[in-house]
């Protein structure tokens, strides 16, 4: 076993890789960075070295191998390359773990093959996660590679929440059930919320709203996830940047039979050309907000549809939990978009939800309460840190903790 105390965390997306080198002795970031536009023209790597400065590489990265090699070269420049004895493990975000992977898992050839089998149910994500694992293994074959799954925290979903009401045998034959995603974030944020409230996680019921590019809600009762909005794939649930979220499955038949679209075209429509993008032509909430403030009708409708869905889930999860101690906003939109939080909580005083408009407008990177002191339900903003959580779980596994 390596005696190192650092974990390199890779969060590989379809066209980007985020990475962080985290020192587990104190949780500090020794280095961090982002490679964007992989597989496209005009790629960019932005690297933050330990001294806090910033280096940029502008180059085309034809694939993830090229992107990760460039990342490794940057770490090398700081004397922290993949051959560094200080590294204890590489921790990988893997989006779909299916029914088999419900814990952080040491990657072997066999584990990698199984992650590959799950590509059809996470087509935007698992291929990139696999590429990250393959490159890291090649660069440093003796180092433990740990896969931390987005689905793992949701493995506790009770059967009535996990089942689709379809023929049981067909569902079982194809492992069709609700898995849920963003679990590492829901786990981290629900725990941090309990800490913010100064309470034991086992005592608090929380609704977590993870609103990033992908978006999902979860209901966490005493630290255990009991409901979440994504399902077999990361397409179900909330309105997202480019994904539709909930939609009548009947529209698939209609578009195929009447519209003549192929299954692949409908897949592309629902995953990449829907959500905010489909409704108004912009998938970035900043643009949607800017345009709706200027009176743009399409952008306003996109915002209203996004918020409407969010409110439906808040109401539903309130009923699932029975008692709610906190509603928490996290990820890019949840942490930054005050108008989304305001609209999501408006008019819910009868449910004990009273946002404080002034606190809600405060800009800060810290976990904070944004509800009034007398609000029965605390509304909070808690920045997510999937990378730190992945590093902790990976380090615990290799240390046998
Ligand atoms: N200041 C802001 N106001 C509103 N939305 C924001 C702001 N900053 C970021 N976002 C939104 O956050 C999204 C990205 O969220 P993030 O959690 O980083 O996503 P991911 O990790 O899935 O890439 C962007 O698409 C953007 O719409
Ligand atoms: C699972 C998922 O939707 O992830 P992301 O938000 O990173 O796309
Ligand atoms: Mg994210």
- Report DSSP state, residue 153: G
Atom 1 (ligand 1) nearest CA: 336
Which of 182, 212, 332 gets mutated to test ligand 1 (max ligand atoms within 8 A of its CB)?
A: 332
Confidence bin at 13 (pLDDT 50/70/90): confident
Q: How many residues does the chain have?
A: 401
Q: How much is the pLDDT for 86?
A: 94
Q: How much is the pLDDT for 65?
A: 87
pLDDT tens digit sequence for 314-341 = 999 999 999 999 999 999 999 999 999 9
Task: Classify domain 6-149 at the CATH topology level.
Answer: Nucleotidyltransferase; domain 5 (3.30.420)
Atom of ligand 1 nearest to the CA of 331: 17
pLDDT tens digit sequence for 196-207 = 999 999 999 999
- Rounded Cα–Cα distance for residues 26 and 246 (Å): 41
Q: How much is the pLDDT for 323?
A: 98
Q: Which residues are catalytic?
A: 150
Give me the mean pLDDT over the 290-301 stretch. 98
- Rounded Cα–Cα distance for residues 133 and 149 (Å): 13
Residues 6+ positions from 314 with CB-CB distance below 8 Å: 207, 209, 217, 327, 344, 348
C-alpha 273 – ligand 2 centre gap (Å): 15
Atom 25 (ligand 1) nearest CA: 284
Mean pLDDT across the chain? 95
Give me the mean pLDDT over the 302-314 stretch. 98
Atom of ligand 2 nearest to the CA of 13: 7
Atom 8 (ligand 2) nearest CA: 214
pLDDT tens digit sequence for 356-373 = 999 999 999 999 999 999
Phi, psi at 364, each rounded to 5°: -165, 150
From the CA of 241, the nearest ligand is 1
- Does the structural domain 198-386 have CATH classification 2.60.40.10? no
**Positive or negative, the Cα torsion across 107, 108, 109, 115?**
negative
Atom 3 (ligand 2) nearest CA: 214
Ligand 1 site, residue 270, Cβ cutoff 6 A: no
Atom of ligand 1 nearest to the CA of 214: 22
What b/e string do you get for 191-218 counting C-beta neighbours within 10 Å, with b at 16 or more?
A: bbbbebbeeebeebbbbbbbbbbbbbbb
Residues of the chain with CATH 3.30.420.40: 6-149, 198-386
C-alpha 214 – ligand 2 centre gap (Å): 4
């Amino acid at each position: 076993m390596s005696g190192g105390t650092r974990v390199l965390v890779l969060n590989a997306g379809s066209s980007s890789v985020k990475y962080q080198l985290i020192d587990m002795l104190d949780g500090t970031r020794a280095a961090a960075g982002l490679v964007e536009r992989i597989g496209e023209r005009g790629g960019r790597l932005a690297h933050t070295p330990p001294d806090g400065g910033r280096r940029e590489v502008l180059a085309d990265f034809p694939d993830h191998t090229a992107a990760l090699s460039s990342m490794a070269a940057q770490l090398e420049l700081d004397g922290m390359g993949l051959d560094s004895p200080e590294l204890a493990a590489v921790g990988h975000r893997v989006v779909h773990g299916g029914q088999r992977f419900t814990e952080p898992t040491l990657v072997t050839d066999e584990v990698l093959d199984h992650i590959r089998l799950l590509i059809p149910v996470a087509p935007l994500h698992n291929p990139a996660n696999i590429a990250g694992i393959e490159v890291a293994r090649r660069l440093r074959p003796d180092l433990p590679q740990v896969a931390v799954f987005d689905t793992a925290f949701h493995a506790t979903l009770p059967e009535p929440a996990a089942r689709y009401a379809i023929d049981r045998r067909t569902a079982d034959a194809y492992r069709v059930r609700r898995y849920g995603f963003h679990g590492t974030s829901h786990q981290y944020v629900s725990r941090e919320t309990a800490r913010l409230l100064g309470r034991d996680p086992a005592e608090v019921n929380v609704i977590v709203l993870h609103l990033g590019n992908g978006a999902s809600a979860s209901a966490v009762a005493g630290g255990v996830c009991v409901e979440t909005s994504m399902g077999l794939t990361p397409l179900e649930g909330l309105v997202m940047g480019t994904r539709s979220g909930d939609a009548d499955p009947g529209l698939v038949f209609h578009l195929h039979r009447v519209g003549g679209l192929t299954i692949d075209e409908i897949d592309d429509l629902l995953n990449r050309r829907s959500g905010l993008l489909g409704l108004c032509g912009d998938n970035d909430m900043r643009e949607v907000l800017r345009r709706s403030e200027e009176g743009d009708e399409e952008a306003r409708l996109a915002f209203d549809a996004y918020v409407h869905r969010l409110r439906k889930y808040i109401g539903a999860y309130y009923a699932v939990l029975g008692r709610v101690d906190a509603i928490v906003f996290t990820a890019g939109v949840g942490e930054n978009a005050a108008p989304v939080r305001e609209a999501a909580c408006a008019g819910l005083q009868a449910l004990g939800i009273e946002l404080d408009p002034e606190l809600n407008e405060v800009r800060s990177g810290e976990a904070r309460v944004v509800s009034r002191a007398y609000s029965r339900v605390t509304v909070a903003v808690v920045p997510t840190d999937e990378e730190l959580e992945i590093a902790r779980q990976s380090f615990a596994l290799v240390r046998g903790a």
